[in-house]
């Protein structure tokens, strides 16, 4: 095990100044400190999801009045992928509100879409729920580089949030993704009523995966009307930044993605997140079903901070160099 819970607690509770210093130190050693990865999300199948994730506006168990939409065809998705590329994104992430990935025409159409988007030169990520090993392999072969499946919270708090899919099923899904040779993107949500320890246990689970995820999205709960978590207070800013910094320190080479909740964060808080080691965001006016900041506002902030788009090839080169350095240190 790379990290015990006590070790992670010690990091999280450092004086804020030392915590940020440690995160910066790790960030500079392992990442391009001026690079931010720009990803765009697209909901390709929306709503009516049989899972009961209490935070999710797409769950059929929620009363959000969301318009459901069947799987979109390749041509429709391609238009958004092209717009995302033009807008400066390097990764296109397609999300579907499925319990498990279906076989048949829908999957064939999806594989075709993955291939076409990948041929455009975008890094393709999918987040489609649980999948079978052969589906993971087919996705990879079609050009899907990354699969997102979040742990969402600690093992203990998990059953308060989701009852239709177990924590172990999620870990199993992540293992299948890895075995198929795709990158793993896995993180969670802060602000659902979980304790600080629950958040740290989630980070511990992620950091102790072998290897740990290539990217870790940290979402601040968007408390959507009609979901059981409606009305929850937005997470405390400093607790959120501490989680980002802790994730950076214990998973030095991962892309820490500042994900849902940015519309509730002012520029200063987002800048603190970058200081704490966040180096990826979702760009574009929509996440899956909820609003995201305007791209122009994001570029304005990145320009003010002197941060630039991180090219995926460059990110891999930096990671390779960091590997070499640690090899010579031994
Ligand atoms: N259905 C797939 C799944 O569950 O893996 C993919 C899509 S799902 C919407 C992806 C992730 O979005 C969830 O695991 C959760 O972490 C995040 N998410 C969903 N609703 C959210 C909300 N209201 N606030 C913050 N994060 C949310
Ligand atoms: C992740 O961790 N966050 C993104 C992405 N992975 C798929 C999704 C956020 C969704 C927020 C609620 C919505 O827009 O429906
Ligand atoms: Fe379905 Fe994913 Fe939403 Fe859960 S998070 S209800 S699995 S779309």
Which pLDDT belongs to residue 61? 86
Whether the CB of 191 sits within 6 Å of ligand 1: no
Please report the pLDDT score of residue 327 as a whole number.
46
Q: Given this model, what pLDDT does residue 325 score?
A: 62
- Torsion over CA: 169, 173, 174, 176 (sign): positive
- Please state at what angle helix 16-30 crosses helix 5-12, rounded to 10 degrees: 110
- Would the pLDDT of 273 be above 90? yes
Report pLDDT for 328.
45
Give the separation between CA 278 and CA 274, rounded to whole angstroms.
5
For 189-222, what is each residue's pLDDT tens digit?
A: 999 999 999 999 999 999 999 999 999 999 999 9
Q: Indicate the average pLDDT of the chain.
A: 93
- For the segment 142-158, the average pLDDT, to the nearest whole number, is 97
* Average pLDDT score over residue span 272-300: 94
Helix residue ranges per DSSP H, 91-166: 105-119, 133-142, 155-161
Atom 8, ligand 3: which residue's CA is nearest? 97
Distance CA 148, CA 255 (A): 13
Could you confirm whether 39 is annotated as catalytic? Answer: no
Query: pLDDT tens digits, residue range 246-258?
Result: 999 999 999 999 9
Closest CA to 284 of 68, 92, 128: 92
Among all ligands shown, which has an atom nearest to the Cα of 256? 2
Q: How confident is the model at residue 73, as a pLDDT?
A: 93
Q: Is the pLDDT of residue 267 over 50?
A: yes
Structure tokens at 162: 């989701």
Tell me the mean pLDDT in the region 151-172: 95
- Pocket, ligand 3, Cβ cutoff 6 A: 49, 51, 53, 56, 58-59, 97, 129
Q: Region 60-84: what's the mean pLDDT?
A: 89
- 127's CB contacts (< 8 A; 6+ apart) are 93, 94, 95, 96, 147, 148, 149, 185
Overall average pLDDT of the 51-64 stretch: 89
Sequential DSSP letters for 169-207? HHHHHHHHHHHTTPEEE--EEE-SS--HHHHHHHHHHHH
Question: Is the pTM higher than 0.95?
Answer: no
Q: Which residue has the higher pLDDT, 262 or 310?
A: 262
Looking at residues 90-98, what average pLDDT do you find? 94
pLDDT at 312 over 80: no
Nearest CA to ligand 1 atom 3: 129
Is residue 125 annotated as part of the catalytic site, yes or no?
yes
**Cβ atoms within 10 A of the Cβ of 329, count?**
6
pLDDT of residue 264 exceeding 90, the answer is yes
> Which tokens is 36 given?
């931010």
Distance 58 CA to ligand 3 centre (A): 6
Res 310: pLDDT: 87
Choice among 56, 126, 144, 273 that is catalytic: 56
Q: Which residue has the tokens 């080691």?
A: 277
DSSP code of 152? B
Distance between CA atoms of residues 174 and 58, nearest Å: 22
What whole-number distance in Å separates Cα of residue 213 and Cα of residue 148?
Answer: 10
49: left (phi > 0), else alpha (psi -120 to 50), else beta?
Answer: beta
Residue 181's pLDDT is what? Answer: 95
C-alpha 252/C-alpha 319 separation (Å) is 10
Going by pLDDT thresholds of 50, 70 and 90, the confidence category of residue 293 is very high
Name the DSSP letter for residue 214.
S
Question: What stretches of the chain show up as alpha helix (H) in DSSP?
Answer: 5-12, 16-30, 74-86, 105-119, 133-142, 155-161, 167-179, 196-207, 237-250, 267-275, 295-305, 312-329
Calculate the alpha carbon distances from 225 to 56, 58, 228, 231 in Å: 10, 12, 8, 7
pLDDT, position 330:
30
Q: Please, what are the domains in the chain? A: 5-329 (3.20.20.70)
- Per-residue pLDDT tens digits for 95-141: 999 988 888 999 999 999 999 999 999 999 999 999 999 999 999 99
The answer to whether 204 and 249 are in contact (CB under 8 A) is no
How far, in Å, CA of 239 to CA of 253, rounded? 22
End-to-end Cα, the chain, rounded Å: 20
Q: So what's the pLDDT on residue 314?
A: 72
């Amino acid at each position: 095990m790379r990290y015990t819970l006590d070790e992670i607690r010690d990091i999280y509770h450092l004086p804020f100044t030392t915590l940020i210093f440690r995160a910066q130190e790790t960030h500079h050693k392992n990442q391009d400190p001026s690079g931010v990865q720009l990803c765009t999300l697209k909901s390709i199948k929306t709503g009516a999801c049989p899972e009961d994730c209490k935070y999710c506006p797409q769950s059929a168990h929620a009363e959000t009045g969301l318009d459901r939409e069947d799987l979109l065809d390749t041509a429709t998705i391609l238009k958004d992928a092209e717009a995302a590329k033009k807008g400066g994104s390097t990764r296109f992430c397609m999300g579907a509100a499925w319990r498990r990935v279906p076989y048949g025409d829908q999957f064939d159409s999806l594989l075709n879409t993955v291939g076409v988007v990948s041929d455009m030169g975008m890094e393709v990520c999918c987040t489609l729920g649980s999948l079978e090993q052969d589906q993971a392999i087919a996705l990879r072969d079609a050009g899907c580089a990354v699969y997102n499946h979040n742990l969402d919270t600690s093992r203990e708090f998990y059953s308060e949030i989701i009852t239709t899919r177990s924590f172990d099923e999620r870990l199993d899904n992540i293992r299948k993704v890895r075995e198929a040779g795709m990158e793993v993107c896995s993180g969670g949500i802060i602000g659902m009523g979980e304790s600080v320890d629950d958040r740290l246990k989630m980070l511990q689970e992620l950091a102790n995966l072998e290897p740990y995820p290539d990217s870790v999205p940290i979402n601040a709960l968007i408390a959507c009307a009609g979901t059981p978590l409606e009305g929850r207070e937005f997470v405390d800013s400093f607790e959120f930044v501490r989680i980002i910094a802790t994730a950076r320190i214990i998973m030095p080479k991962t892309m820490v993605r500042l994900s849902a909740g940015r519309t509730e964060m002012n520029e200063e808080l987002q800048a603190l997140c970058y200081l704490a080691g966040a180096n990826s965001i979702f760009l574009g006016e929509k996440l899956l079903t909820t609003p995201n900041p305007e791209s122009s506002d994001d570029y304005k902030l990145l320009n003010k901070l002197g941060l630039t788009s991180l090219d995926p090839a460059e990110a891999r080169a930096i990671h390779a160099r960091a590997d070499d350095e640690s090899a010579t240190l031994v």
